A and B are shown apart, each in its own frame.
Chain A
C-alpha cells in the first residue's frame, strides 16, 4: 500500500494527504474534534438547562435527610437517615440478591446442563424443554409472573401454608426461623475460623508437596469441604465421633504407609472437631427465633419479602437456562479422546471426570459463566418493576424522584456502580485467562 502511495509525495501538500500516516493523524484529529464538539455541546446544554432551573450540581444532597422508608435493609436505616445511607442500603440489597441469585442459578444451571447430556432420553428432553421455555420468555415477564400471578395470590397470614422446621409462607412473604447467637457464640465462630485456617494451610502444603514430589492430592475437595461441609457439619453432634474416628484412622494410615499423608481428612477433622468442641464447651450457645402469628402478621424470625422471592426465582430460573447451555457446551467441548485416553490409563470414572474432563471443561465454562453472573447482577435492576428495594429502585427511583434537581448525579452514580462491577469482572477474567494460558503452555 505504501509503495502505491509514495509517488504522491512529490506533489507537495496535496501529496502529503495521500500518505497513510498523515491521513491517519488527520482523521483522528477530525474525529476527536467532532467528539469534543459534541461533548462540549451537551455539557453546555446541560449547564444552560440547569442554570435556567436554578440548580447547582453537586453531591451535597447525599447528606440530606431521605425521609422515606425502605422495606428491606441490611444496615441500620430509618426515614431520618440520609440519601447517602439510602444509597448503601440499595447497593447492599442489590449485592444480596445478586449473590443469592448467582448461587441458585449456578446450582440449577449445572443440574439442568448435565441433565441435558443424560443418557436417559426423557430426562435429557425435560431439561431441554426447561431451557427452551426459560430463555425464550422475557425476564421481566417471568418476574411479573412470579410476583403478581403466583406470590400475590398466596393466602393471608392467618391462612399461611405451614412448612417444615417452623417456616410459614403467605402473601407477606416467607417467614423462617432466625438463628440467634447467645453469649459465648464467639467461641464457635473462632473455632470455625481456626478450622478454616487449618484447611487453607493444608491446601498450601499439599500444593507445595505436589510441586516437589509430583504426588497428587485432593486439594479441590479439601477446599470444597472447607466451604460447604464446614458450616453444615459444625453443628452436627454425631459428626464429632465420626471426625475423631477419621482422625485416628488417618494417623494409623500415615504410620503404616509413611508415604501418602491424608491431609484431606486432617483438614476435615480440624474443621469439624474444633467448632464442635467449642460449641459443646460453651453450652450450645445458639437458639432459634421462630416466627409467630401475632394479630395480622408474623413477628420474629427472618422474613423474606415476596419481592425478594420473586426476584430470586425469576433471576435464577432465567439465568440458569443460559448457564445450562454453557455447561453443556463446556462438557461437549472436551474431546472424546481425552476421556478414552483416561480410561485407557485405567482411571476410574470418577477420576476421569475429576482429573481430566472437569479441568478442561472449566476452561471453556468459566469465561461465559462469569459474564452470565454479570448479566444476572445487571438484570437484578429489574427489581424496580416489582418494588424490591435494590440500588436502581431506591437510588435511581425514589431518591431521583425526590431530588429531581440532581437527576444527572444520581444516574451517573448508579451507572458508575454497575461499571465498577463490570470492570472488576473483566479484571478477574483477564487474570483467569492469563492463568489458564500459563497452564496450557
Chain B
C-alpha cells in the first residue's frame, strides 16, 4: 500500500481554487444561499440602475431655471446655482473668504489633533478650545478690526451646521465632565442635581428643548435682555448634548479600576488632583470613540434647528426645493440628495475615524467605551 501512497494524495482539482472556490463557498454553498445571492444581485441591480438613471442618464445638465428640469432625473443646474447657498447660506459673497479662513484655522487645529502620531495634543486642544473660538467669532461675525459685521440671520447652510455642531460639542465637553463627576459625587445634593438634569434632558426630544429656546427662554430673562436666535439654539444644543456627553464620560469613569482612585488617595492627592491628574486623563482617552459617536449624533440633529427657523444645511435644502425659479418635480429630490451627500460624507467619515480609534485603543489593551448612548 505504501507504493500507492503518492497516488492517493493527488492535489485538489485545479478548478476548485481561487476565485471560483471563493464564489462557491461564499455565494453558492447551498440552494438557499444561491437564492439569497440572486436576490441580492437583483436588489443591487435595481438600486444601481435607479441611482445611475436618476443621477446621470435622465439628469438635466444645462438650464437657467426649473422649466429645463422635466426629464425626470436630477436637476444639476439647480444644484450648481444654489451651491453657494448650501455652503454659506446668505452670507455676503465678498465676505465668504472669512468663512473659508475659519475652516482653514479649524483644520489647522483638527488635523494634528486627529492624527495619532502628531505630538503636542494638549496644546492643539488648548488652541481649539481657547484661541480658535475667539478667532472664529471675530472672523465670522465681524464688526471689529475693520471687518464688516455679518448678522447671524445671514449665516446658513453647512456653515451653520458646523457652527452649531462644533460649538455644541465644545461647550458640552467641559459641562459633560462636570455633570459626570457630579453624578458620581459622594455629595447627595450634587449627585441628585446632576442626575435630575441628565435624566430630564435625555428624557425629552431635542425639538421640545428647541421650542423651549424659542418661546420660553425670552420669558426666563429680564425684559431688556434679548438673545440672538442662533445663540439661543446654541445654548440649548450645548445643554442637550452635555447630558449625553456626561453619560459617555461616566462610562469612561466607571471603566477606571478602583485601584487608581485608591492609589491617588494613598499618595495624599486632593480630589481635584486625583481627578485631573490620575482619573480623567485615563477615562477621557477611553471615551474618545463614544464622544465621536455623540458628535455624529449631534451633527445629524443640528438639522432640527430648521424647525425654529434657522437655515442649516438641511434648512437651505428644504427652502431651495420650494424656490420659485427652480420649481420642478425633480428639484426637491436634487436638493435633498446634495444635502444628504454632504451629511453622509461627514458622518460616515467620522464613524470610520471613531472605529479606527477604537481598534487602536483595543490593540493597546484598553477597555473602550464605544457606546455613544446618543443616536
Closest to A46 in B: B219
CA distance A384 to B305 in the complex (A): 12
CB-CB < 8 A to A31: which residues of B?
189-190, 193
Contacts of B12 in A (CB 8 A): none
A368: chain B residues at CB < 8 Å are 371
Do B43 and A153 touch across chains, with their CB atoms under 8 A apart? no
Q: State which residues 273-322 of B face A: CB under 8 Å.
A: 296, 300-301, 303-304, 306-307, 314, 317-318, 321
Residue B232, interface by CB 8 Å: no
Inter-chain contact A149/B215, CB cutoff 8 Å: no
A132 and B347 CA atoms in complex are apart in Å by 9
A382–B301 Cα distance when bound, in Å, is 11
Which residues of B lie under 8 Å from residue A423 when comparing CB positions?
203
Closest-CB distance, B187 to chain A (whole angstroms)? 5
Residue from the set A1, A42, A322, A368 with the largest chain B CB neighbour count within 10 Å:
A1
Q: Does B44 contact A126, Cβ atoms closer than 8 Å? A: yes
Q: Provide the residues of chain B in CB contact with A229, threshold 8 Å.
A: none
B375 and A418 contacting across the interface, CB-CB below 8 Å: no
Report the separation of the CA atoms of residues A28 and B182 in the bound assembly, to the nearest whole angstrom. Answer: 11
Interface size on A, residues (CB 8 A): 62
Q: Which residues of B contact A148 (CB under 8 A)?
A: 318, 321, 332, 336
Residue of chain B at shortest CB distance from A121: B26
Closest residue on chain B to residue A407 by CB atoms: B215
Residue pair A144, B190 in contact (C-beta under 8 Å): no
Contact partners of A408 in chain B: CB under 8 A: 216, 219
| Residue B68, interface by CB 8 Å | no
A28-B187, A141-B343, A375-B375 known; A132-B348 Cβ under 8 A: yes
| A27 contacts the other chain (CB 8 A) | yes
A422 and B202 within 8 A (CB): yes
| Residues in chain B near residue A375, CB distance under 8 A | 375
Q: Indicate if the CB atoms of B340 and A141 lie closer than 8 Å.
A: yes
Q: Is the CB of B268 within 8 A of A120?
A: no
* With known contacts A45-B222, A138-B301, A423-B203, A385–B347 Cβ distance under 8 A: no
0 or 1 for each of A388-429: is its CB under 8 Å from B? (1 = yes): 000010001000100000011001001100110111001000
**Contact indicator B220/A137 (Cβ below 8 Å):** no
Contact B347 A136 (CB under 8 A): yes
B333 within 8 A of A: yes
Is A52's CB within 8 Å of the partner chain B?
Answer: yes
- B187, A27: Cβ atoms under 8 Å? yes
Task: Tell whether, in the assembled complex, residue A411 and residue B211 are in contact, meaning their CB atoms are under 8 Å apart.
Answer: yes
Contact between B41 and A122, CB atoms less than 8 A apart: yes
List of A residues within 8 angstroms of B93 by Cβ: none
Q: Return the chain A residue nearest B318 by Cβ.
A: A144
Q: Is the interface of B mostly helix, strand, loop or mixed?
A: helix
- Complex: A24 Cα to B189 Cα, angstroms: 10
Q: Mark A225-253, 1 if CB is under 8 A from B, else 0.
A: 00000000000000000000000000000
The answer to the question of A22 belonging to the interface, with a C-beta cut-off of 8 Å to chain B, is no
- Quick one: which of A138-157 are within 8 Å of B by CB? 138-141, 144-145, 148-149, 152-153
A407 touches B219 (CB 8 A): yes
Contact B33 A141 (CB under 8 A): no
Chain A window 297-333, contacts with chain B (Cβ cutoff 8 Å), 1 for yes, 0 for no: 0000000000000000000000000100000000000
Partner of B336, one of A144, A400, A415: A144
- Judge whether A378 is part of the interface by a CB distance below 8 angstroms: yes
B200 within 8 A of A: yes
A98 to chain B, nearest CB (A): 12
**Does A370 lie at the interface of the complex (its beta carbon under 8 Å from any beta carbon of B)?**
no
Interfacial chain B residues near A414, Cβ < 8 Å? 208, 211
A76 at the interface (CB under 8 A from B): no
In angstroms, Cα B375 to Cα A371, docked, is 10
Query: Which one, B40, B208, B314, B333, contacts A138 given CB within 8 A?
Result: B314
Asked whether A153 lies within 8 Å of B340 as measured between CB atoms, the reply is no
Determine the interface band of chain B, counting residues with CB < 8 A from chain A: 35 or more
Whether A120 lies near B33 (C-beta < 8 A) is: yes
**In the assembled complex, how far is the CB of residue B71 from the closest CB belonging to chain A, in whole angstroms?**
14
**A280 interface residue (CB < 8 Å to B):** no
Contact of B304 among A48, A140, A415 (CB under 8 A): A140
Residues in A90-126 with C-beta less than 8 Å from chain B: 118-123, 126
A138 engages B216 (CB within 8 Å):
no
User: Nearest residue in A to B41 (C-beta to C-beta)?
Assistant: A122
Are A392 and B343 interface neighbours, CB within 8 A? no
Q: A132-B348, A411-B208, A422-B203 are in contact. Are A49 and B307 (CB under 8 A)?
A: no
Let me know if B343 and A28 touch, CB within 8 A.
no
Q: Kindly identify, within residues 199 to 229 of chain B, every residue whose CB is under 8 Å from any CB belonging to chain A.
A: 199-200, 202-205, 207-208, 211-212, 215-216, 218-223
Query: If the complex has contacts A1-B265, A384-B207, A422-B203, are A123 and B37 also in contact, measured as CB distance less than 8 A?
Result: yes
Contact with A along B1-38 (1 / 0, CB 8 A): 00000000000000000000000001101000100110
Which A residues are in CB contact (< 8 Å) with B41? 122
Q: Which residues of A contact B340 (CB under 8 A)?
A: 137, 141, 145
C-alpha spacing A319/B252, complex, angstroms: 26
Q: For the complex of A and B, list the 4 residue pairs with the smallest distance between their C-beta atoms, beginning with the closest.
A: A422-B203, A136-B347, A121-B26, A378-B205
Chosen A-B contacts, 22 in total, with CB atoms closer than 8 Å, are A1-B268, A28-B190, A31-B190, A120-B40, A121-B27, A122-B27, A122-B37, A136-B347, A137-B343, A137-B344, A138-B301, A138-B303, A145-B340, A148-B332, A149-B332, A381-B207, A392-B207, A396-B211, A411-B208, A414-B211, A422-B199, A422-B202
Known: A120-B27, A136-B348, A137-B300. 7 other contacts (CB 8 A): A1-B268, A120-B26, A120-B33, A137-B340, A137-B347, A385-B307, A396-B211
Q: Which residues of A contact B (CB under 8 A)?
A: 1, 4, 24, 27-28, 31-32, 35, 42, 45-46, 48-50, 52, 118-123, 126, 132-133, 135-141, 144-145, 148-149, 152-153, 322, 368, 371-372, 375, 378-379, 381-382, 384-385, 392, 396, 400, 407-408, 411, 414-415, 418-419, 421-423, 426
